[in-house]
Amino acid sequence: RDSNRHVKVKQKSAVLNMLKKLDKIRFRGHKRDEFLDLAESPNASDTECGDEIPVKIPRTSTRDNEELRDPAGPGTIVMASGVQDFNRTESDRLNEIKGHLEIALLEKHFLQEELRKLREETNAETLRQELEKERQRRLELEQKVNEVLKARAEEVPAAQQPAKQQTQANGTDKRSHTVCSKIQKWFCDKFGEYVEDFRFQPEENTVETEEPLSARRLTENMRRLKRGAKPVTNFVKNLSALSDWYSIYTSAIAFIIYMNAVWHGWAIPMFLFLAILRLSLNYLIARGWRIQWSIVPEVSEPMEPPKEDLTVSEKFQLVLDVAQKAQNLFGKMADILEKIKNLFMWVQPEITQKLYITLWAAFIASCFLPYRIIGLAMGLYAGIKFFLIDFIFKRCPRLRAKYDTPYIIWTSLPTDPQLKERSNATVSRRLQTAASRSYVGSSAPTGISKDEDTSRFHTTKRGNFHEVFNLSENERPLAVCENGWRCCLINRDRKMPTDYIRNGVLYVTENYLCFESSKSGSSKRNKVIKLTDITDIQKYKVLSVLPGSGMGIAVSTPSTQKPLVFGAMVHRDEAFETIFNQYVKITSVSTSSES
């Protein structure tokens, strides 16, 4: 029995040695007491631990370990430890080993988190870039130091040889040499600074952050633009007032002074003196003087205080106003740029030819005539044109339309949209002529008018116009709405969503109002309204919350309880005028025929 105990004690001592090795592998960094027990660990799962709580193993000293290894040692301690180890079950040992492994996994997880944090804190890429920059700077500094040392090494022998030859002459030469060396050193330092200033560096591309859309910011920017453009607009108004002889005495004095300055060759000094005078007046105005030097009296516009809180409709109306102003401004600028481009690109050859001949004449005159005569002629022509000819042309529009060459050239220059419309009209005219010729050549019935012939070839996206709406062949869209107006038909008598709103195109013929649905190819979803059946037509606003007069047209007929609404029309006013005029025309003709 003692031998069996001895064997069991040895097995238990081997298990303890294995646990010690695991303990050493696990607890190299921190102590075991610094970690939570397995039962207290928040990451311990139910499948791993179960309901059993691992028993803490008390620490054994080296002396106890030696006594356990040698069973012949002190008997009482070995026997007590052996009995204690013997009482342990296999499940306790497995739970203990499992606890060690789970704690090791927790420590591994904690170490990985620490490593990740350290990597995020120490950005290796930025450190590498800064190190590369510092290395380049160090190389440049070394090159500069080497260049300075070489320059000084070349100066020292050259300075020593004359010094040895002149030591016996007198001391004044030494002083002059030292002065020259100082001057050279100063020159080298200054030259080096300038060379450093001219050193090329890569341009930094800075991305400007765009501000979000804000009604208050939009209003402020519009007011800033208006205030910034006010001096330019005032200057243009004063020039137009001089040309229009708004003040007879002021315009007469300005004309006499200008013509006298041009005749004596003082035009450029006169303009420079006027610029200096304007800056002087601006300085006095900035100092608090009240000086008003303007031909046209300035009208002070009342400044509206900015509202702090705007409603949704006010914000929407503000955005619409600003968008309209920006649209008109950009449209004018685009017209000017496109006209200049078309003038130089020979879009209108007869207009560009005049400019071409004028440039050749100016070139030949500049080659043979002295500049004084050319400047005198140009100055006299500009003065007479500005003060006299423009005044007469503005008062006599017919005379201007016949004889004002710059005005005629500028007004006759086309823009790109005008060129596109002309080309489309030309192509459609050619197609109509070709179709009419082919139709005349074929076997067609006689007695067909020209309008009926051209109406046969007007088609929509789904086929011929009269076939889509089941109308007679002489019914075709008016010239204003050949392509139709995009809109949506709202039939408030219907309750189904598919029949309540339909998207499509609206056409107006001589006798009918036709709506072509875009979702179905059949003619059942299309709508045809006879103009004489319309009882009322008016502009309509679908959503009362939105500002403005709306984007819809309401048409009332006897067959509908509620008016039909054609909404979401961009060109609502144009469509309303066309429908209303045709409606008035048809009703007046019908009433006159009945009477």
Inform me whether the pLDDT recorded for 47 exceeds 90. Answer: no
| pLDDT at 454 (0 to 100) | 42
Last residue of a domain, one of 346, 380, 410: 410
CB atoms within 10 A of CB 104: 14
Residues 248 and 343 in one domain: yes
- pLDDT, one tens digit per residue, over 217-247 is 877 888 888 888 888 988 898 999 999 998 8
Provide the token pair at 412: 């006759």
Last residue of a domain, one of 377, 410, 443: 410
Kindly report which listed range (5-14, 140-149, 455-464) carries the lowest average pLDDT score.
Answer: 5-14
Residue 564, strand partner residues: 555
Q: Of 498, 499, 560, which is closest to residue 529 (Cα–Cα)?
A: 560
Inform me whether the pLDDT recorded for 122 exceeds 60. Answer: yes
Return the SS3 of 555: strand
Last residue of a domain, one of 374, 393, 410: 410
| pLDDT at 213 (0 to 100) | 73
Is the pTM higher than 0.85?
no
Residues 388 and 484 in one domain: no
Inform me whether the pLDDT recorded for 215 exceeds 80. Answer: no
Residue 452: inside a domain: no
Residue 528 lies in domain: 464-591
| pLDDT at 551 (0 to 100) | 82
| pLDDT at 44 (0 to 100) | 41
Mean pLDDT of 513-525: 75
| pLDDT at 40 (0 to 100) | 43
Residues 359 and 470 in one domain: no
Mean pLDDT of 395-420: 90
- pLDDT, one tens digit per residue, over 63-88 is 444 444 444 444 444 444 554 555 55
| pLDDT at 57 (0 to 100) | 45
- Helix-helix angle 62-69:75-86, to 10 degrees: 90
Residues 479 and 586 in one domain: yes
Residues 278 and 370 in one domain: yes
Kindly report which listed range (63-72, 121-130, 343-352, 538-547) carries the lowest average pLDDT score.
Answer: 63-72
**Domain holding 555: CATH number?**
2.30.29.30
User: Helices in 244-387 by DSSP H: which ranges?
Assistant: 248-263, 267-286, 312-344, 349-368, 371-384
| pLDDT at 568 (0 to 100) | 82
Inform me whether the pLDDT recorded for 36 exceeds 60. Answer: no
Residues 485 and 404 in one domain: no
Inform me whether the pLDDT recorded for 29 exceeds 70. Answer: no
Residues 382 and 469 in one domain: no
Residue 547: inside a domain: yes
Residues 476 and 397 in one domain: no
Residue 174: inside a domain: no
Residue 517 confidence class, pLDDT cut points 50, 70, 90:
confident
3-state helix, strand, coil in the chain (%, to 5): 65, 5, 30
Residue 225: inside a domain: yes
Residue predicted with more confidence, 540 or 252: 252
| pLDDT at 461 (0 to 100) | 59
Kindly report which listed range (114-118, 182-186, 433-437) carries the lowest average pLDDT score.
Answer: 433-437
Strand order in the sheet with 552-556: 527-530, 512-517, 501-508, 485-490, 564-567, 552-556, 536-540
- pLDDT, one tens digit per residue, over 361-394 is 999 999 999 989 999 999 999 999 999 999 999 8
Residues 385 and 477 in one domain: no
Mean pLDDT of 309-336: 80
- pLDDT, one tens digit per residue, over 259-312 is 999 999 999 999 999 999 989 988 998 898 888 777 766 655 555 555 556 677
| pLDDT at 310 (0 to 100) | 67
- pLDDT, one tens digit per residue, over 416-462 is 988 888 887 777 676 666 656 555 454 444 444 444 444 444 566 55
Residue 226: inside a domain: yes
Mean pLDDT, the chain, as a whole number? 75
Residue predicted with more confidence, 580 or 544: 580
Q: Cβ(57)–Cβ(37) under 8 Å?
A: no
Residue 232: inside a domain: yes
Residue 263: inside a domain: yes
Mode of pairing for the β-strands spanning 536-540 and 459-460:
unpaired
Tell me the C-alpha to C-alpha distance, in Å, between residue 290 and each of 194, 278, 283, 284: 48, 14, 11, 8
| pLDDT at 544 (0 to 100) | 64
Question: What is the percentage of the chain residues whose pLDDT exceeds 70?
Answer: 66
Residue 46 confidence class, pLDDT cut points 50, 70, 90:
very low
Residues 373 and 490 in one domain: no
Return the SS3 of 537: strand
Determine which helix (DSSP H) or strand (DSSP E) holds 443, and give its type and residue range: none
Mean pLDDT of 524-544: 84
Mean pLDDT of 156-184: 63
| pLDDT at 427 (0 to 100) | 73
Residue 418: inside a domain: no
Give the number of domains in the chain.
2
| pLDDT at 28 (0 to 100) | 47
| pLDDT at 480 (0 to 100) | 84
Residues 329 and 392 in one domain: yes
Cα–Cα distance measured from residue 53 to residue 166, given in angstroms and rounded to the nearest whole number: 103
Residue 169 confidence class, pLDDT cut points 50, 70, 90:
low
| pLDDT at 358 (0 to 100) | 92
| pLDDT at 153 (0 to 100) | 75
Residues 252 and 361 in one domain: yes
Residue 513, strand partner residues: 508, 529
Contacts of 512 (CB under 8 A, 6+ apart): 469, 471, 475, 528, 529, 530, 531
Kindly report which listed range (53-62, 206-215, 390-399, 468-477) carries the lowest average pLDDT score.
Answer: 53-62
| pLDDT at 385 (0 to 100) | 93
Inform me whether the pLDDT recorded for 144 exceeds 80. Answer: yes
